[in-house]
Structure 1
């Protein structure tokens, strides 16, 4: 695996990037040290960012880029090599279909990162892991990088202790570092789209909006609880209704920003093609979390397939415009 093979090459003294400063420190002897036990969401795949230098473009890499990459590698050098996701998500037939789609866009993608944007609960992590596997990319969750940067503190606790502004600053810094790399599928936080500076980072790659109806999102989130969603905390009462109202408010703030993405995947359209009346019938919470129902594989692979098709369409159009002779 790429991250595992690159890590031994970084046997040098580098700089540790913390929240506010760069401090000199020795590189740990083992690059497979256990990830902070305080990280609460163990299902989120992390990537060994000690392989940062390997994810930089192969041509015209400046000393500054390499230095920043090594800063990133040290900042996250506690990520074990085994945390790069490689799970068996699909059957051989499905794998072949997705691999063919991935091969179709590879000449146009040119090693650029793919950034998944969308509301909380839209499936960015699930789709992102499978997409990364199909493309031969690594998957990383920007929220998890922020959590690690703040000592393994969960996003919910960061909001509680330091406020949303602090979290957004850390999120922007994480995206800035990731934008210097390549061959990554990045799952972004639901609110990452609100800052123009974040789009400046994501525009270095390809952005894909996973557009899920708010009713379906509210049903998913209300079913599992809002404890890990700092912007959705609410007291007693109808959890679905309160969640839906809050999501509606958030979408009014973010909808136009999501539309800035290079490609859009409408799960409502996929449901219609599959003969389902609504996405909620297609995606119960258990499917989103565990993908344990056979039909769920079909649903997520249709989602992923459409995502790759949308990316392919954007890249081909980009390529066509780049070769127009005036």
Structure 2
């Protein structure tokens, strides 16, 4: 979901693994001569953006040893899953209330899917995130690994997921990835 920390955690994972890092939204903006995602939605519509997203994921699926932060809606197209399943897919599962607080704190201007809701920033974000999760939840659950911030917070004795650092979240992600590789008979991740 938007605001879950995909880019921040993805950069940490890439650094630890000595992989390249790609943000699919940033790559789309680059192909559009710097036009922001919000502007692409306004000028060309969501379908156009999703077509660009699919093309970026197709190209990235052809290379190895990288971490990709996708847009939260990438899961809405089955073809994107085909490309993403060439690696280990990871769902950063953040409670909607926490996501809404994060997004409200920085503003909703850069979030094109939030522009049609009414109310204050938190209410707008929470309403739309709830609707998006209703649409996408089953797709997110298809990820090979799920990093539940609620579970991490509980295990560490935190009452609020906002107290978790991106590094703590990345460590949990790495542990899950290592578990998947061991289950599949692959090599374990060393060095963390």
Query: TM-score, structure 2 length as denominator?
Result: 0.93
Question: Which one of 7, 10, 23 corresponds to residue 141 of structure 1?
Answer: 23
Matches within 5 A, 1:166-315: 166-234=48-116, 237-280=119-162, 282=163, 299-315=165-181
Q: Deviations over 1:115-146 (max 9, x none)?
A: xxxx0000011111111110010111001111
Separation of aligned partners in 1, 2:146 and 2:33: 34
Task: Name the stretch that deviates more: 217-226 or 229-238.
Answer: 229-238
Cα distance in 2 for residues equivalent to 1:300 and 1:235: 29
Aligned to 2:7: 125
Structure 2, gaps ≥5 residues long: 187-192
User: How does 1:56-75 map onto structure 2 within 5 Å?
Assistant: none
Aligned-partner Cα distance in 2 for 1:204–1:234? 35
**Superposition deviation, residue 278 in structure 1:** 2.2
Give, in whole Å, the separation in 1 of the partners of 2:128 and 2:118.
15
Please say if residues 74 and 80 of structure 2, whose CA atoms lie closer than 8 Å, have aligned partners that are also in contact. yes
TM-score by length of 1: 0.55
Task: Using the TM superposition, give the Cα deviation of residue 235 of structure 1 relative to its aligned residue in structure 2, in angstroms.
Answer: 6.6
Aligned to 1:317: 183
C-alpha displacement at 1:318, in angstroms? 1.6
When the two chains are superposed, the root-mean-square deviation of aligned CA atoms in Å is 1.3
d(CA) in 1 for partners of 2:144, 2:83: 13
Radius of gyration: which is bigger?
1
Which structure is higher in RCO with an 8 Å CA cutoff and minimum separation 6? 2
Give matches, 1:74-113, under 5 Å.
none
Q: CA deviation at 1:228?
A: 0.5
How big is each residue's C-alpha offset from its partner over 1:63-107, in whole Å with a ceiling of 9 and x where there is no partner? Answer: xxxxxxxxxxxxxxxxxxxxxxxxxxxxxxxxxxxxxxxxxxxxx
What's the offset of the Cα at 1:234?
4.5
Aligned residues: 186
Higher-helix-fraction structure: 2
Q: Please state if 1:160 is matched with 2:42.
A: yes
* Whole-Å separation in 2 of the counterparts to 1:267 and 1:223: 19
Q: Distance in 1 between matches of 2:69 and 2:117?
A: 29
Distance 2:70 2:116 in 1: 24
